[in-house]
Structures are given as structure tokens and as C-alpha cells.
Amino acid sequence: MAETKYGKNVVTLPVRKGEFGSMFAAGAEQLLGFECTIIYAFAFKPGITGLSKKPHVHNYDEVVYFIGTDPSDVGDLGAEVQMSIGPDEEEKHTFDKATAVVLPKGLPHCPIYTKRIDRPYLCMAVSLIGKRTD
């Protein structure tokens, strides 16, 4: 879209499709140097949610959002989700309402496990870094 003065500001997102559904990850490379990376995907079945099957850490801060897809009540997650936080899956936190999990750099987290699902929900990670290295 760069043919116009502001066409470069309108970015088509790099959507990937696979057995997990579809998702996108966009950071500074796609967002004109904007120092933020967003991963956006929908969970639609029970089991491991996302690509992380074991705990991992980042050298940057991250927030993982879980948001319902009922337009009249995004606070109702429509699912029961469990996320492990801490080394060796130390604490398991279970929730069924819209939730943000704040993960300071160096804090081990994952896997995310969808225990029950009534309808798909949005899982979105936001990191204040231009490019993820993991």
C-alpha cells in the first residue's frame, strides 16, 4: 500500500495457518519499527493452547491476555484455562473470566492448558520488544 503518502502505515498482518488454527505474530519488522510484539490466536479445543508445551522464560516483560469472544460479554471467557507460572510448573492458575497474566522478564511460564471450552476465546501475548528471539 505504499503508493500513497500514508499507505506504509497500513500493514497486512502475517497470518500463519496450521493444525493449531491460525495466528499472527507482528513486531518492529512488520510495524515500522514500533517496539512491541503481539501474538494473536484463538483457542478452540481442549488441551495445550499455543505452541509452548513446557515452561520457558523471556529476557523481556510480557503480558498474556485471555479474552472471551461473546461480543455482549467479553469478560466471560467461555472456557476454563490453566496456566503454569514459576519454575517446573510450580503454580497452576485456573480461570474462566477475562484474565491478563503479567510476566516480568525471567519468570518461567507455560504451558497453557484449556481444560474446558464452550466457545473459542482469544489468547494474545504482548511484549515490549521489537523482535522476539525465542
Number of Cβ within 10 Å of residue 70's Cβ equals 13
Which grid cell sits at 124?
A: 494474545
Q: What is the pLDDT of residues 24-83, one digit of tens each?
A: 778 888 888 888 888 888 889 999 888 788 899 999 999 999 999 999 999 999 999 999
Helix (H) or strand (E) holding 60: none
The answer to whether 94 touches 79, Cβ cutoff 8 Å, is: no
State residue 26's pLDDT score. 82
What is the arithmetic mean of pLDDT over 17-29?
76
Structural domains present in the chain: 38-127 (2.60.120.10)
Q: What is the pTM of this model?
A: 0.85
State residue 67's pLDDT score. 94
Q: Dihedral (C-alpha) 118, 53, 122, 21: value to the nearest 10 degrees?
A: -80
The answer to whether 61 touches 132, Cβ cutoff 8 Å, is: no
